[in-house]
Amino acid sequence: MTDSPEQDYDPGDVAVIGMSLRSPGARTKEQFWDNLVHGRESVSFLEKDDIHVDETLIHSPFYVRACGVLDTYDKFDPSVFGISDRMAAAMTPENRLFLESAWETLEDGGYDPDRVRAEIGMYGANNPQTAALYSSPPDRVSVGPEAIEASLAWSPDTMTSNALYYMGLTGEAVTVAAVCAGFHYAVHLACQSLLLGQTDMAIAGGAMVRLPHPRGHLWEENRILSKDGHCRPFDANGTGTALSSGVVTVLLKPLGQAVADRDHIYAVVKGSAVNNNGVSAMAYGLAQPERLSACIAAAMEVGGVNPDTVSMYEANGLGLPMTDELEVHAASMAFGKQTATTSIGGVKGNVGHGGVVSGGFGAMKAALALFHKKLPATINLTEANQDLDFPSTPFVPQLETADWESESGIRRAGITSIGGGGYNAHLVLEEPPTVAERTPEADGRPRLATLSALDDDALDRQRVRLREWLIAHPELRLDDICFSLNLGRKVMERRWAAVVRSRAELIDALAADSSGAPAVTTASAPRVDAESFHSNDDGIVLSGRDAQALPELTALAAAWVTGRRVDFDSLHLGETSHRVPLPTYPFRPRRFWRTDW
């Protein structure tokens, strides 16, 4: 079979080709997934001394010392972006988290910001209140460059434009305020822009840091916050949820283009829809079943999706019986009567309520479930709320982690997000398209693998992480690994390279001791004078037969680690290698915090 079979794709489909997450209990999406499939709860129960709120509040008998703690909420690595420590301290925590996450998402997709020749839209949701709680707004007599920089660092509005600027990208920048539905709204707007041809790729997501952090909450009867700190979606004994923080971003591209570009695809956005309750019979802020149902149905209709084919429903799931009943009722109306059954779950039991990023936790869970073909259990659900009457709905609670077998022959998931103020949003995701059988990799062909970082410590950490990744993912091909490393990472000052003939050789090379000097590891071969290479504006050019010759690759590696520019596009010219996820840059975050100006 060919590597790039001719196939028609729905022009309205959008591929998810990169993802990044930080959540309570997880620094990466891989840790997040591991927590989900093993049913771990990541809400922490705090000591009084750990909580930075009013003493009177802490000693209230109704104060619940539970929180989804984000351990990097106050940390940042400004050096990667060329940001001064002074500016880093002025930036709000959400600005910093979103910037690092956007970088990780682009790298996870296999793209170097310096070599992207495309318009990249940036869409993100945050909490405007965080900036005010972090510090007072800058009040300057002048409006000179220093004052403007401080204002832009502090402003929640400029979160997405800052990400474009500091990553060296161009494109649209839209910062969204849609309360707890913010992540979904960002993805919805990003997909619209991509399908209209306004951008080539898009990064969409949300960031939330609840301040003071860490903190608990004050329990009030029949409100959405839990009496004991545990969230129990769909459970008869549920009393609400706990507060949490985090960041989630995704890299999006029209599906047909993603396939043509040989991108790695986690999932496909089939449809999205948003609406607002406006005036309704329900109390302001509660789900209005008819409007929420219309939103869910619209997302399926836009994607041409029959409800019978949606076998996973990731609910907003606050764990409060009243709100869960409203949501299940609304979703049942949208799905209608069907012969297939749909798994229903809620990630807030694991990580609490992440505010504007809560929908991102649900979408990440669904995307990874589609990719791994597995349905994680809904934890803390021990006694289903009888008022939900699940037997009369299309839904069956997912009580245990299980392999995902779809009756319709294709796996699809619906993810709902609801925000106070009447915001409704729904996404429909589909499993990635089947990858055609590829021509076997050329056995024993030498290949060049490269790494670079700002300093030797980061370079060593990259080598360790990549080696561990390759051991854990034996299915990865050497040609794909080298293609993704050489073209999908920003080139930095400290460099390492290896010329190898197999995955095993690369793993061994990554384990070699570091001398602290620019390094190159090669199989034995005669050295070739690097000056013999010809160059263009993009650097040293090596293609055709030269790109398959051990001596030339050895010399090229030696030239690159000593600072020469290399045209890696020419090195991989004519190949059919695919981008694959590999470890992203090992940020070295330091604490930056500012409470005054």
List, for residues 361-412, the tens digit of each pLDDT value: 999 999 999 999 999 999 999 999 999 999 999 999 999 999 999 999 999 9
Q: Are 138 and 147 in contact (CB under 8 A)?
A: yes
Locate tokens 């351990």: which residue?
Answer: 71
Strand partners, 45: 66
Q: Are 154 and 137 in contact (CB under 8 A)?
A: yes
List, for residues 76-121, the tens digit of each pLDDT value: 999 999 999 999 999 999 999 999 999 999 999 999 999 999 999 9
Q: Are 218 and 63 in contact (CB under 8 A)?
A: yes
CA–CA distance, 247 with 171 (Å, rounded to integer): 21
What are the residues whose beta carbons fall under 8 Å from the beta carbon of 165, sequence distance 6 or more? none
List, for residues 458-483, the tens digit of each pLDDT value: 999 999 999 999 999 999 999 999 99
Structure tokens at 346: 């809620």
Structure tokens at 552: 């030339």
pLDDT at 56 over 90: no
Q: Where in the chain is the domain with CATH 3.40.47.10?
A: 14-137+144-272+283-430
Q: Supply the pLDDT for residue 49.
A: 86
* Angle value at C-alpha 396, between 338 and 337, nearest 5 degrees: 15
Q: Are 361 and 248 in contact (CB under 8 A)?
A: yes
Task: Decide: residue 6, CB within 10 A, 0-12 exposed, 13-18 middle, 19+ buried.
Answer: exposed
CB atoms within 10 A of CB 407: 12
pLDDT band at residue 595 using 50, 70 and 90 as cut-offs: low
What are the residues whose beta carbons fall under 8 Å from the beta carbon of 204, sequence distance 6 or more? 121, 123, 124, 183, 186, 187, 189, 190, 249, 250, 252
pLDDT at 283 over 80: no
List, for residues 443-458, the tens digit of each pLDDT value: 899 999 999 999 999 9
Distances (CA, A) of 499 to 456, 509, 573: 20, 9, 18
Cis bond before residue 214 (omega within 30° of 0): yes
What are the residues whose beta carbons fall under 8 Å from the beta carbon of 432, sequence distance 6 or more? 15, 265, 266, 267, 268, 370, 371
Distances (CA, A) of 588 to 17, 90, 162: 25, 19, 20
Least confident range from 143-152, 224-233, 341-350, 363-372: namely: 143-152
Least confident range from 248-252, 342-346, 484-488, 520-524: namely: 520-524
pLDDT band at residue 55 using 50, 70 and 90 as cut-offs: confident
The H or E element spanning position 248 is strand 246-254
What are the residues whose beta carbons fall under 8 Å from the beta carbon of 51, sequence distance 6 or more? 58, 65, 212, 214, 215, 216
Maximum C-alpha span of the chain: 80
Q: Where in the chain is the domain with CATH 1.10.1240?
A: 474-572
Crossing angle (nearest 10°) for helices 159-167 and 93-108:
50
Mean pLDDT of all residues in 258-269: 97
pTM across the whole model: 0.94
CA–CA distance, 349 with 347 (Å, rounded to integer): 5
Q: Supply the pLDDT for residue 170.
A: 96
pLDDT at 175 over 50: yes
List, for residues 388-402, the tens digit of each pLDDT value: 999 999 999 999 999
Backbone angles phi, psi at 544, to 5 degrees: 65, -140
What is the amino acid identity at position 541? Answer: V
Q: Are 583 and 30 in contact (CB under 8 A)?
A: no
Q: Are 434 and 309 in contact (CB under 8 A)?
A: no
Structure tokens at 592: 């930056």
Q: Fold for domain 474-572?
A: 1.10.1240
Backbone angles phi, psi at 300, to 5 degrees: -70, -40
Better-predicted residue by pLDDT, 1 or 91: 91
What are the residues whose beta carbons fall under 8 Å from the beta carbon of 524, sequence distance 6 or more? none
SS3 50: helix
SS3 342: strand
Check the CA dihedral 96-98-100-103 and report its sign.
negative
pLDDT at 516 over 90: no
pLDDT band at residue 596 using 50, 70 and 90 as cut-offs: low
Locate tokens 């707890």: which residue?
Answer: 180
Crossing angle (nearest 10°) for helices 159-167 and 145-154:
120
What are the residues whose beta carbons fall under 8 Å from the beta carbon of 226, sequence distance 6 or more? 64, 66, 217, 219, 232, 238, 239, 240, 241, 242, 319
Q: Supply the pLDDT for residue 284.
A: 74
Nearest to 413 by CA among 481, 365, 372: 365
Structure tokens at 260: 């043509």
User: Domain 14-137+144-272+283-430 carries which CATH code?
Assistant: 3.40.47.10
SS3 414: strand
Q: Are 533 and 511 in contact (CB under 8 A)?
A: no
Supply the Cα-derived Rg of the chain in whole angstroms.
25
Q: Are 367 and 16 in contact (CB under 8 A)?
A: yes
CA–CA distance, 144 with 475 (Å, rounded to integer): 55
Better-predicted residue by pLDDT, 508 or 4: 508
Mean pLDDT of all residues in 36-54: 92
What is the amino acid identity at position 346? Answer: G
Q: Are 379 and 41 in contact (CB under 8 A)?
A: yes
pLDDT band at residue 222 using 50, 70 and 90 as cut-offs: confident
Nearest to 467 by CA among 499, 512, 500: 512
Q: Supply the pLDDT for residue 48.
A: 87
Pairing outcome for strands 173-176 and 44-45: unpaired
Structure tokens at 108: 């996870």
